[in-house]
Amino acid sequence: MKRINIVLFSLLITISSSAQSWSALPWVRTSRGAADLAMAGAASMSSNNMAWAADGNSAMVPFCSDRMAVELGYMLYQPSGTNYVNAGFAYNVKGKIGVSASLSYGADPAYDIYNDSGKATGKYAPGQMKLGVGVAWRFVDFLSAGLNLRYAMQTLAPQVANNSFAADFVLMGKFGDFAVSAGALNFGTPVKSSSGQAFFPAASVKLAGMYDAVYASAHGLQINIDADYYLNNSFTAALGAQYGWKDMLFVRAGYRYAAESCPLPSFASVGLGCKFKGVRIDLTYLAWGTVKNTFNLGVGYSF
């Protein structure tokens, strides 16, 4: 009975405990990019998030000044204590075509396994894995389209696992220092419960905007804003900002509001970053909300 209760609790985490059927695998929607997460996950169009384009907005890759970006990351996600190891990659082909890929693996804390007589027989550590690929086409100078394909899998207990295939489609326009995007994110195949009930991935329709400018050749200001309407009739809205000095040192902050029953929580975030000769280090800390004490570290290279 104790083991059954543990499995049921894991299922409630993975598939929203509400009766809504559009909240499965919500952890897929958490940003893996440290620079993006420092701005509350609103910086999906920022060039600092280029390596993680396959996680939500591959349409931004052809607009980046860099040809290639790669990043490795580690995130400790609270309150679950999940340890994530992440990798992201993107390549810009002459400002016209973008290709991207990402991989994320999360290890949850282990729990005890009991037999029918209540005796502990060992431990089991649930795991999560997300694999994504993306492609983008800048079909006119100011407009691009991006498509991401994603596979997500989560193990809950021995021989108990969920998986889903999903896709994102985003249109992005850039006009001088301003950029806007609109897309449909994470629409995919359902996860089925033991009773056969279908729970679809946490899908949403997203609108986003960005202002990105440099003053006096040294002071960069970036402001990001986005809003998601999730198909379980909830929404989030986020605001994030970044100050950069000579494109070398960065200070970031953001806040995301999430309505009740939203797959993502409300939180505030802060972060620091540095970049020198293509090598970058970004650090993020979530300071408020149910996910406080979450931190994310990213180390990358671009040229």
Cα 147 to Cα 55, 97, 105, 127, 200, distances in angstroms: 10, 12, 22, 27, 19
Per-residue pLDDT of the chain (303 residues; tens, 9 = 90+): 344 333 333 433 443 333 358 888 899 999 999 999 999 999 999 999 999 999 989 999 999 999 999 999 999 999 999 999 999 999 999 999 999 999 999 999 988 887 777 777 778 888 999 999 999 999 999 999 999 999 999 988 777 788 999 999 999 999 999 999 999 999 999 988 767 788 899 999 999 999 999 999 999 999 999 999 999 999 999 999 999 999 999 999 999 999 988 988 999 999 999 999 999 999 999 998 899 999 999 999 999
CB neighbour class for 83 (10 Å; exposed up to 12, middle 13-18, buried from 19): middle
Handedness of CA 226, 72, 171, 154 (dihedral sign): negative
The answer to whether 297 and 282 have CB atoms below 8 angstroms apart is yes
Cα 63 to Cα 3, 95, 213, distances in angstroms: 51, 6, 15
35: left (phi over 0), alpha (psi -120 to 50) or beta: alpha
- Strand-pair partners of 126: none
The answer to whether 240 and 40 have CB atoms below 8 angstroms apart is yes
Cα 237 to Cα 94, 228, 284, distances in angstroms: 33, 6, 19
Is the entire prediction scored with pTM above 0.85?
A: yes
Task: Report the C-alpha gap between 133 and 148 in whole angstroms.
Answer: 6
Task: Report the C-alpha gap between 131 and 101 in whole angstroms.
Answer: 8
